[in-house]
């Protein structure tokens, strides 16, 4: 059967694009405005309700997707067949290759309302067609990373395994695992994320494995025989107390961990800890999972839990499944432009940003300024944008995924203490437009 989901003939990202980008291009090519020098800026007007910071994620994926943004014969044939654009435009697209410059916040950096997260400079024609692709990636990945950072912070050093792939689109799952890892998760269940990004993958068994066997003991024996006593046994298929007793009997006190996936996991973990200790399994860890979010994780801080499995909440952004970023034209031929109607007004001109800090390192404010008129820079100010692409080529030595993990860890430490509260509130620092 045909498989339209994965066209083998093309790895092009060029049709991950909204129709109107190409009709705009077509009109602009016809009237001669297509070659005007433009600056497009990605920013979020606001954070999701109650959130105190956002985490930039997806930048590296954006650069890769732009490299694959080519109109091959397959894409051109589709556009011709559906009469989206003129023949002149098809000819132009056949040679398309982004040749402009991109600067942006590196992955793992915090952002606030109005932060110029990504700045694309090039002709109108070459820049306008990237809108949807750039936003899709940044909006998805940043939404997941922003939620994941709150969970990592709530877990207070205890490892979290990302296991939400089944709750989101099959390829979104892979990107979500990456964003969660960027934000401090320890591992993922997603094998494709392991392949693409080198993220460590983990997993043992589901309840299906328990039910497949005639008894719980038989299932435990099969698992320990294959994976060793250091595995994680799932003890809540039948009766948790009996399950733990059987688990330690089968694996011995060197059992690696037990997992509890249902019920009120706080009291259950306490009871399990006592029982494990009484059975001599003092080093056996307790892993809990099942509808955990940042609030549930925080509520478990005093409980004897060693690791968390988090699924639905992280891949869906824990109530904020998109970051709501927009891609706005802010400058044409060196002149600022902005929508001027009373609603959704925006600020024109190419911008840069720096974050001011106290001498102690605590962040004070996000200063967004015209790139041509930088403010005086103090000793505790930090410029936030880095070069990402020059003349259509990624700059050398771009930050890695691990760089992003470390950057976020440092950035979170710099927030005022209210900024890490999970409760709803204002952005942790104000944004000032100079």
CB crowding 162-197: b at 16 or more within 10 Å, else e: bbbbeebeeebbbbbbbbbbbbbbbbbbbebbbeeb
* 213 counts as binding its own copies under rule CB under 8 A: yes
Cα gap 80→93, rounded to integer Å? 12
Q: Which stretch binds its own copies (CB under 8 A): 150-158, 342-350, 360-368, 425-433?
A: 342-350
Q: x/- string (CB under 8 A) for its own copies, residues 179-208? A: ----------xxxx-xxxx---xxxxxxxx
Least distance to its own copies, CB of residue 65, Å: 7
Q: What is the bridge-based pairing of β-strands 351-357 and 363-370?
A: antiparallel
* 312 counts as binding its own copies under rule CB under 8 A: yes
* 316 counts as binding its own copies under rule CB under 8 A: yes
Nearer to its own copies, 351 or 357 (CB): 351
Nearer to its own copies, 110 or 177 (CB): 177
Q: x/- string (CB under 8 A) for its own copies, residues 265-294? A: -------------------------x----
**41 CB neighbour count, 10 Å cutoff:** 26
Give residues 60-89 in contact with its own copies (rule: CB under 8 A). Answer: 61, 63-65, 67-68, 75, 78-79, 82, 84, 86
* 146 counts as binding its own copies under rule CB under 8 A: no
Give residues 7-26 in contact with its own copies (rule: CB under 8 A). Answer: 7-8, 11, 13, 15-24, 26
Q: Which stretch binds its own copies (CB under 8 A): 108-116, 149-157, 220-228, 360-368?
A: 220-228
Structure token digits, residue 248: 């330690």
Cα gap 66→390, rounded to integer Å? 13
Give residues 152-171 in contact with its own copies (rule: CB under 8 A). Answer: 163, 165-171
Among 44, 47, 56, 137, binds its own copies (CB under 8 A): 137
* 44 counts as binding its own copies under rule CB under 8 A: no
Q: How many CA atoms lie within 13 A of 11 on its CB side?
A: 5
Q: Is the dihedral of CA 377, 382, 385, 387 positive or negative?
A: positive
* 369 counts as binding its own copies under rule CB under 8 A: no
- Determine phi and psi for 285, rounding to 5 degrees: -85, 160
- The angle, 0 to 180 degrees and rounded to 10, between the axes of the packed helices 59-67 and 131-155 is 150
* 140 counts as binding its own copies under rule CB under 8 A: yes
Cα gap 414→172, rounded to integer Å? 30
Give residues 393-412 in contact with its own copies (rule: CB under 8 A). Answer: 394
How many chain residues interact with its own copies (CB under 8 A)? 120
DSSP summary character for residue 215: S
Least distance to its own copies, CB of residue 311, Å: 9
- Determine phi and psi for 259, rounding to 5 degrees: -125, 135
Nearer to its own copies, 337 or 420 (CB): 337
| Residue in this structure with the two tokens 């992280």, named with its chain if needed | 314
Least distance to its own copies, CB of residue 369, Å: 21
Structure token digits, residue 287: 């892993």
Q: What is the bridge-based pairing of β-strands 307-310 and 393-394?
A: unpaired
Least distance to its own copies, CB of residue 198, Å: 9
Least distance to its own copies, CB of residue 66, Å: 10
Centroid of chain to Cα 5? 23
Q: At a CB cut-off of 8 Å and minimum separation 6, what does 77 contact?
A: none
Nearer to its own copies, 259 or 407 (CB): 259
**97 CB neighbour count, 10 Å cutoff:** 11
Cβ(71)–Cβ(129) under 8 Å?
A: no
Least distance to its own copies, CB of residue 71, Å: 11
């Amino acid at each position: 059967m045909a498989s339209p989901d994965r066209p083998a003939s093309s790895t092009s990202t060029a049709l991950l694009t909204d129709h109107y980008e190409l009709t705009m291009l077509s009109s602009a090519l016809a009237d001669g405005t297509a070659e005007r020098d433009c600056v497009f800026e990605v920013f979020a007007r606001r954070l999701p309700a109650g959130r105190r910071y956002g985490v930039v994620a997806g930048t590296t994926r954006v650069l890769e997707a732009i490299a694959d943004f080519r109109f091959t014969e397959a894409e051109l044939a589709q556009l011709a067949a559906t009469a989206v654009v003129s023949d002149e435009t098809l000819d132009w697209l056949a040679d398309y290759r982004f040749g402009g410059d991109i600067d942006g916040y590196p992955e793992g950096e915090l952002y606030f309302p109005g932060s110029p997260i990504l700045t694309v400079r090039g002709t109108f024609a070459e820049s306008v067609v990237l809108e949807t692709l750039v936003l899709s990636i940044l909006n998805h990945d940043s939404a997941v990373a922003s939620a994941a950072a709150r969970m990592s912070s709530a877990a207070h050093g205890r490892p979290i395994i990302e296991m939400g792939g089944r709750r989101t689109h099959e390829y979104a799952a892979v990107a979500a695992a990456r964003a969660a890892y960027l934000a401090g998760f320890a591992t993922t269940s997603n094998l494709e994320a392991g392949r693409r990004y080198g993220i460590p993958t983990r997993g043992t068994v589901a309840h299906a494995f328990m039910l497949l066997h005639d008894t719980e003991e038989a299932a435990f024996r099969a698992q320990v025989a294959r994976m060793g006593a250091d595995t994680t046994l799932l003890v809540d298929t039948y009766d948790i107390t009996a399950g733990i007793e059987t688990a330690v009997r089968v694996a011995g006190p060197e059992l690696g961990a037990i997992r509890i996936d249902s019920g009120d996991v706080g009291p259950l973990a306490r009871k399990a800890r006592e029982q494990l200790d009484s059975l001599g399994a003092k080093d056996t860890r307790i892993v809990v999972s099942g509808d955990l979010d940042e609030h549930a994780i925080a509520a478990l801080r005093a409980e004897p839990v060693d690791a968390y499995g988090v699924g639905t909440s992280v891949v869906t952004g824990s109530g904020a499944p998109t970051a709501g970023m927009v891609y706005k034209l802010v400058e044409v031929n060196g002149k600022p432009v902005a929508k001027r109607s009373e609603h959704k007004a925006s600020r024109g001109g190419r911008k840069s940003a720096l974050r001011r800090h106290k001498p102690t390192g605590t962040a004070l404010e996000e200063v967004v300024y015209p790139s041509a008129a930088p403010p005086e820079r103090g000793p505790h100010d930090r410029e936030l944008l880095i070069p990402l692409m020059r003349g259509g080529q990624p700059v050398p030595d771009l930050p890695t995924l691990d760089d992003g993990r470390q950057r976020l860890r440092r950035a979170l430490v710099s927030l005022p203490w209210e900024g890490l509260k999970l409760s709803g509130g204002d952005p942790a620092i104000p944004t000032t437009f100079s």
